[in-house]
Chain A
Amino acid sequence: MAMLEVNNITISYQNRPTVTDFSMTLEKGQICSLVGESGSGKTTVIRAIFGLLAGGGKVTEGDIIFEGESLLEYSKEKWRKLRGSDISMIFQDSGAMMNPTRRVGDAYTEYIRTHEKNIAKGDARTKAIDMLERMRLPSGDNVMRSYPFQLSGGMRQRVGIAMGMTYQPKLLLADEPTSALDVTTQAQIVRQMMELRENYGTAIIVVTHNLGVAAYMSDHIIVMRNGKIEDQGDRDYMLYHSENEYTHKLLDAVPSIGGTRYV
C-alpha cells in the first residue's frame, strides 16, 4: 500500500464542487508536483490533504488515506498530533505566517514545546538552532533573536522549512514555496528540499507554477486545469512525449534562456 492515496475526491466550497475526481498516490521518498494556472485547484488539493481547507471547503466525495487510515475521519486531537510531526506544510511566504511581534526563537521554541510536552526550554532552543543551521542559515542563534521583518524573504522561508522539518515528517506539502523568492534563493531552497528526501526519505508534494522547478525535482508531475487532472506523467513524458494540447500550451509559454525572441 502506498503511503498516501487520494481516491477520486471532490472538494467543494459552499457546496460548489471546485476540484472533481482527483486521485493520486505517493510512495515514501517520492516527489510529486502539481502545476497549472492560478485557480485550477492546486492549493485546494494540498490543503484538503492537510485537513485545513479555508472558506468552508469540504471533501464531499472520495477518500484520503495516509498510511492505511482515512485522514477524513481523524479527530481534531489526532490531527494535532499528526500535523508538524508526520505531515508538515510550507506556505508561499512563511514570513507572513509568523507573528511579527514575536522573535523567531520564541515562536520556534513554543512550536517545539507543543509537540514535545516535556522538553525543557533550553533543550527546545538548542533543537531549534540545530535545525536552523541544518537549513544553512548562517547563524542560528542570530536568527532566533531576530524578528521576522529583520530577515530576508529567503531566510524567513528557510525558517519555515526548518520548522516544517523539525520532526522529519513523512510527508511534506509545499504551496509555491519559492515563488516569492529570487532565482538564487529559489535554487537553494529546491536543493534543500531534495536533500530532505535523500536524508530522511521525506515524500513531498509541491505546488509550483514554475515548470522548470517541477521538471527538476519531481518523479511525477500532475497538470491541473479547472479543478481536474488534465495530464500527468514523469518528466520525460511531460517535456517530450505528452500529446496533450494544454500541456503544450503551458510549455510553450515558459520563457527559456536561448528560447523565442520577440525582438
Chain B
Amino acid sequence: MFDEKDLILEAKHVTRRFPAAKGKVLTANNDVNLKFYKGKTLGLVGESGCGKSTFMRFLVSLDKPSEGEILYKGEDITKLKGEKLRQHRQNIQMVFQDPAQSFNPKMKIRDVICEPLLNFKRIKPSEKDKVARELLEMVELPGELADRYMHNMSGGQRQRVAIARALALEPEMIVMDEATSALDVSVQKTIIELITKLQREKNITIGFICHDLGLIQSFAHQVAVMYLGNIVEVMPGEDIGENCKHPYSKALLASVFDIKMDFTKKIESIDSEIPSPLDVPPGCPFCDRCDQCMEICKQERPILKEIGPGHEVACHLYAGKEA
C-alpha cells in the first residue's frame, strides 16, 4: 500500500496519562501506533475529547508522551532538547482551527508570515517584503495583503495566511487541527483544493484532525479512527465509506447527514454517552456501547490486526493475521 522507504514519521506504543482528581489517572492516548508517509495525508477522526489533539501535539513537540517513541526519520524526537529541538521544529509545523487567536493581533500579515523565517535566520529583515509577497501568492492571495492585519481578513483568508506561515520554513510535514471546521463549506472546499495542490507540488506529509468523515475521505490517503484514546481502525482513505469494518467506525458513518443519503431511512445514532476517559472498560474500549459485544470483548482488549492492504482493525470480530 505505502512504501516503507517513504516512512517519514512513526509513533510507537505512544501512551499519555494525565493525573486527575482523587488520585485517578486519565489515559488520553493508549498504545498508539501510526505511520506517516512522505507526501501523504493521514486523517485522524473521532469524537471530541477522544485524544486526537493530544496525539498531534507530540508530533509538533508541544507535549511528550508518558511512554513510547515518536521516530522522525528514525530519530526519537521525544528525546530532543535545547538547540537540537529548536532546529528540529523547522521540520514539522502546525496550523490551528482559529488563526486569529493564535497570532498577535498587532502584527501585520507580513510579520506573521515571516516571523519563523527570521527566528531561524533564514532571511534578512530587508527581504521580508519580497518573501511575504511570494508566500501570499503561493496560497493564492494578493501580495498587497501583506500590509493588513489578521482581523481585517475573512476566515478563509486567515486560514490561507496560517498555511503560508506554516509552509514558510519548507517543513517536511504539517499538522492541521480542525483547520477548516469553522469555515463555510464553499470556503472549506477552496482550502482543501489549495492544500492538496501544495501537497502535490511540495511532497508534504500532512496529519489532519477532523470530525467530518465526508471531508476526510475527500483527500486523506490513510484514515485512522480513534476512540477513547485507542486507535480502533486504520484504513486507506477511499475505504471509509464502503469498507470500514470496526463497529465504532460504522456507527460514526451511520450518523452522518449527507445530501446523498437515503432520506427514507431513519438516521442511526449511538444513544449512550461516551464513557469518561477515567473509566475506560478493561476489555474493548467500545464494549459497553457496541451492539455486537461478545464475552471476550469485556475481558481482552483487541489489538490492531491487518485484514487487508493498509487496513487494520482492533476488534474481536475480525481475527485476521497478526499485523
A interface list, Cβ under 8 A from B: 37-38, 136, 138, 152-155, 182-188, 190-191, 209-213, 215-216, 235, 239, 249-263
B272 contacts across to A, CB distance below 8 A: 138
B187 contacts across to A, CB distance below 8 A: 37
Between A and B, 10 residue pairs with Cβ closer than 8 Å are: A183-B212, A187-B255, A209-B185, A210-B257, A216-B261, A250-B185, A255-B192, A255-B217, A257-B260, A259-B217
Q: Which 5 A-B pairs have the closest CB atoms?
A: A212-B257, A187-B269, A187-B255, A255-B214, A255-B215
Q: Given that A37-B184, A215-B257, A216-B257 are known contacts, is A262 also in contact with B237, CB under 8 Å in the complex?
A: no
A37 contacts across to B, CB distance below 8 A: 184, 186-187
Stretch at the interface among B55-63, B108-116, B238-246: B238-246
Q: Given that A153-B48, A184-B255, A212-B256 are known contacts, is A255 also in contact with B218, CB under 8 Å in the complex?
A: yes
> Shortest Cβ distance from A180 into chain B, in angstroms?
9
Is B88 close to A, CB under 8 A? Answer: no
| Contact present for A253 and B188 (CB under 8 Å) | yes
What is the bound-complex CA distance between A215 and B267, given in angstroms? 12
| Contact present for B259 and A211 (CB under 8 Å) | yes
| Contact present for B185 and A257 (CB under 8 Å) | no
Partner of A183, one of B49, B255, B260, B263: B255
| Contact present for A187 and B257 (CB under 8 Å) | yes
B 248-267 contacts with A by CB, 8 A: 251-253, 255-261, 263, 266-267
> Shortest Cβ distance from A167 into chain B, in angstroms?
25
What is the bound-complex CA distance between A215 and B259, given in angstroms? 7
| Contact present for A257 and B212 (CB under 8 Å) | no
Is B127 close to A, CB under 8 A? Answer: no
Partner of B263, one of A138, A235, A260: A235
Partner of A254, one of B185, B196, B273: B185
Extra inter-chain contacts (17) besides given A153-B48, A258-B217, CB under 8 Å: A182-B47, A184-B47, A186-B255, A186-B257, A187-B269, A188-B271, A190-B267, A210-B257, A216-B257, A250-B186, A253-B189, A255-B214, A256-B214, A257-B253, A257-B256, A261-B219, A263-B41
Partner of B214, one of A155, A215, A216, A257: A257
Which B residue's beta carbon lies closest to that of A35? B185
Is B213 close to A, CB under 8 A? Answer: yes
| Contact present for A256 and B186 (CB under 8 Å) | no
What is the bound-complex CA distance between A209 and B212, given in angstroms? 13
Is B270 close to A, CB under 8 A? Answer: yes
Number of interface residues, chain B, beta carbon within 8 A: 50
B192 contacts across to A, CB distance below 8 A: 255, 262
What is the bound-complex CA distance between A213 and B259, given in angstroms? 8
What is the bound-complex CA distance between A259 and B219, given in angstroms? 11
**Which of B199, B251, B256 neighbours the largest number of chain A CB atoms within 10 Å of its CB?**
B256
Main secondary structure on A side of the interface with B: helix
Partner of A188, one of B48, B188, B257, B269: B269
Which B residue's beta carbon lies closest to that of A151? B273
A210 contacts across to B, CB distance below 8 A: 257
| Contact present for A215 and B255 (CB under 8 Å) | no
A209 contacts across to B, CB distance below 8 A: 184-185
> Shortest Cβ distance from A202 into chain B, in angstroms?
19
| Contact present for B267 and A183 (CB under 8 Å) | no
Is B211 close to A, CB under 8 A? Answer: yes
Which B residue's beta carbon lies closest to that of A153? B48
**Which of A38, A183, A209 neighbours the largest number of chain B CB atoms within 10 Å of its CB?**
A183
| Contact present for A138 and B240 (CB under 8 Å) | no
Is B221 close to A, CB under 8 A? Answer: yes
B241 contacts across to A, CB distance below 8 A: 257-258
B48 contacts across to A, CB distance below 8 A: 153, 182
What is the bound-complex CA distance between A249 and B257, given in angstroms? 18
What is the bound-complex CA distance between A152 and B50, given in angstroms? 12
> Shortest Cβ distance from B209 into chain A, in angstroms?
13
B237 contacts across to A, CB distance below 8 A: 261, 263
Is B144 close to A, CB under 8 A? Answer: no
| Contact present for B211 and A256 (CB under 8 Å) | no
What is the bound-complex CA distance between A213 and B49, given in angstroms? 23
B253 contacts across to A, CB distance below 8 A: 257
A257 contacts across to B, CB distance below 8 A: 213-214, 217, 240-241, 253, 256, 258, 260
> Shortest Cβ distance from B269 into chain A, in angstroms?
3
A213 contacts across to B, CB distance below 8 A: 257
Partner of B193, one of A211, A249, A256, A262: A262
B211 contacts across to A, CB distance below 8 A: 182-183
Kindly supply a per-residue 1/0 record for chain B positions 225-248, scoring 1 wherever the CB is within 8 Å of any chain A CB and 0 otherwise.
000000000000110111000000
B189 contacts across to A, CB distance below 8 A: 252-253, 255
Q: Given that A183-B255, A212-B259, A263-B219 are known contacts, is A253 also in contact with B186, CB under 8 Å in the complex?
A: yes
What is the bound-complex CA distance between A239 and B257, given in angstroms? 14
> Shortest Cβ distance from B239 into chain A, in angstroms?
11
Is B268 close to A, CB under 8 A? Answer: yes
| Contact present for B257 and A155 (CB under 8 Å) | no
> Shortest Cβ distance from B99 into chain A, in angstroms?
16
Q: Given that A154-B273, A256-B260 are known contacts, is A187 also in contact with B268, CB under 8 Å in the complex?
A: yes
